Amino acid sequence: MRVNFRQADSRSAPAKSAAKRVSKLIRGIGWGMVLAGQALAGEYHLTIAEKRVDIGGEPQTAILADDGLPGPTLHWREGEDVVLHIENRLSEPTSIHWHGIELPYRMDGVPGISFEGIAPGARFSYRFPVKQNGTYWYHGHSGMQEQQGLFGALIIESAQPQPAADRDYVVLLSDWPQADPYRTLARLKKQSDYYNFQKRTVGDFFADIERLGLRETLSDRLAWGEMRMDPTDLADVNGSTYRFLVNGRTPQMAQHFLFKPGERVRLRFINASAMTYFDVRMPGLTMQVIAADGQNLQPLNVNGFRIAVAETYDVIVQPQAERAYSIFAEAMDRSGYAHASLSPRADWLAPVPPPTPRTLLTMADMGGAHAGHAAQGDNHLEHAEHAEHAEYGGHASQAGENLEAAKPAAEHAAHAGHHHAAMPPEIPSYQTLDYRDLRAETATPLGKPDREIELRLTGDMRRYIWSFDDVKYADAEPIRVKLGEVVRFRYVNQTMMNHPIHIHGLWQYLDIGAGAYNPKKHVINVRPGTTAVVDVPADAVGEWAFHCHLLYHMDTGMFRKLIVEAPDRE
């Protein structure tokens, strides 16, 4: 095993010209004394090269930043100007995209959209001011390099003092394939259910008759058969080829994080997978979610959360017992898991918890495919069915939890108000995290949307094509909006799969009925058969990538160019 787990800060802090520093200081005067004594420019070097890695006895070629799987964790500070020199030692072009970062679009790192890419043997320097803080990540945006190991965590320290945690760890989840990603794609194109080894069998048919009766079983089978769909189709690529990693390590490699009982431990979960959604649990601990996609939230306690591809969640745990706790991230389709230990001693490892049962997709998940647009009534995140909430694994207490999660948005809004009164903050608790429970820490009043764009999320399972509005990227015109507009996107998921929708350079304010406290995210997961509504202030000129963050969905067409035009270009 020759994987470098370099977590160290690759910061070097040479002074820039004095003049620049002074001007920066003047501009950054709002940051006050906190920054006055600190360097305002960080310069970083990353080298991208091929390397053989061996995860579980199968040596393979990886494409890595600084030889690390994952690449080094970069630490930036809000308010600094970063300069990132990327050297490409590959025989093919490369790129790095700074995921979730507000920056000039030429620095965004998408070949063919924001720049030319970094040619073999060439160097490219990204330069931009850091305007935000929180947990983010970076990854390759050329070919399938992201799936070949080119990604790492990005932690931006706040300019404002933040409540301190005693420990602060990155928990970066990823999926590692046994085959070359292009081969994986070819297999999906030839047989889209190639990786599904959880299909329903004749045995399941008879078991269902026992459980549900002949009539219901038959009508269920006929309904799915009529659509030529499969309710076990939860993940196109899964544990039959993937190994699931925490910070580049398999469960067997026993990744662990240390703590002392009573300490507040901040875990920064990043899902850097190409294709895998994880259901995360830490049995015996309540996780207090304090941020999503780098943005602070009003804290809420959960026993588990689903993390879509490319999302990040920051949680605080406060383990009291002198024992090892499990950090358990199951692939959504239960075809495997990532596992690590939060432990008082390096030689104590937490046992792997029993898996939660897999659930099948339901007809409600197919709602989009069937009902089309009929079901759209209001502006909230619309759920076809609460049944999907139960997908987390049919806890016995699920019914009660559903009631909790289904509280009307108004009640939540009132609840949110309490936090700003002088009352002691009461942290709501949930069995599992639901988007509808997320509330931004601070209010962002947005203007009324200037226009609405409905975007249907579409797919063709048989030929393995993914698209927006049934048009794949190769055949699509860019979406054009004007600088300063607030654009309301209505994502109507007409497929039976989850899609994590990512817009580069701009924020998506997810409309969950919380008004100015709607959370803002860089990735919005849209569940099967549901509609999600987001407001996007077009506040950065440029050409931005807009896509489903499942790598093979993006590569087969679920992608658009989003052009934010300056007024003079009208």
Q: Which residues bind another protein (CB under 8 A)?
A: 111-113, 141-143, 185-187, 189-191, 194, 197-203, 222, 225-228, 460-463, 465, 472-475, 547, 554-557, 559
For tokens 């694994």, the residue is: 393
CB of 218 to another protein, least distance (A): 12
**DSSP codes joined into one string, 131-177:** ---EEEEEE--STTTTTTT-EEEEEEE-SS-----SEEEEEEEEEEE
Contact 417, 514 (CB under 8 A): no
Spatial separation of the C-alpha atoms in residues 128 and 107, rounded to whole Å: 7
CB of 226 to another protein, least distance (A): 5
Spatial separation of the C-alpha atoms in residues 193 and 216, rounded to whole Å: 25
Spatial separation of the C-alpha atoms in residues 406 and 390, rounded to whole Å: 12
CB of 184 to another protein, least distance (A): 12
Q: H/E element holding 303?
A: strand 295-307
Nearer to another protein, 160 or 191 (CB): 191
Nearer to another protein, 463 or 480 (CB): 463
DSSP state of 97: E
Nearer to another protein, 43 or 555 (CB): 555
Contact 435, 305 (CB under 8 A): no
At how many degrees (to 10) do helices 214-227 and 202-212 cross?
Answer: 130
Spatial separation of the C-alpha atoms in residues 539 and 492, rounded to whole Å: 24
CB of 61 to another protein, least distance (A): 19
CB of 215 to another protein, least distance (A): 17
Nearer to another protein, 106 or 463 (CB): 463
CB of 306 to another protein, least distance (A): 25
For tokens 């308010």, the residue is: 79
CB of 175 to another protein, least distance (A): 19
Neighbours of 564 (CB within 10 A): 25
Nearer to another protein, 195 or 430 (CB): 195
CB of 196 to another protein, least distance (A): 9
What is the end-to-end Cα distance of the chain in Å, rounded?
Answer: 56
CB of 474 to another protein, least distance (A): 3
- Whether the ω angle into residue 344 lies within 30 degrees of 0, i.e. cis, is no
CB of 460 to another protein, least distance (A): 5
Question: Helix, strand or coil for residue 366?
Answer: helix
Nearer to another protein, 280 or 554 (CB): 554
CB of 534 to another protein, least distance (A): 21
Residues 6+ positions from 291 with CB-CB distance below 8 Å: 134, 135, 297, 312, 313, 314
The torsion angle over the Cα atoms of residues 280, 461, 143 and 551, rounded to 10 degrees, is -20
**DSSP codes joined into one string, 500-518:** EEEESSS-EEE-SS-GGG-
How do the residues of the chain divide into helix, strand and coil, expressed in percent and rounded to 5?
20, 35, 45
DSSP state of 566: -
Nearer to another protein, 72 or 177 (CB): 177
Nearer to another protein, 490 or 547 (CB): 547
Nearer to another protein, 135 or 142 (CB): 142
Nearer to another protein, 124 or 169 (CB): 124
CB of 554 to another protein, least distance (A): 6
Nearer to another protein, 113 or 496 (CB): 113
Nearer to another protein, 41 or 369 (CB): 369
Closest of 354, 434, 426 to residue 402, by C-alpha: 434
Closest of 241, 239, 234, 307 to residue 268, by C-alpha: 307
Burial class (CB in 10 A: 0-12, 13-18, 19+), 139: buried
CB of 409 to another protein, least distance (A): 36
Nearer to another protein, 189 or 380 (CB): 189
Residues for the chain: how many in total?
570
Q: Show the CA angle centred on residue 93, arms to residues 83 and 468, nearest 5°.
A: 95
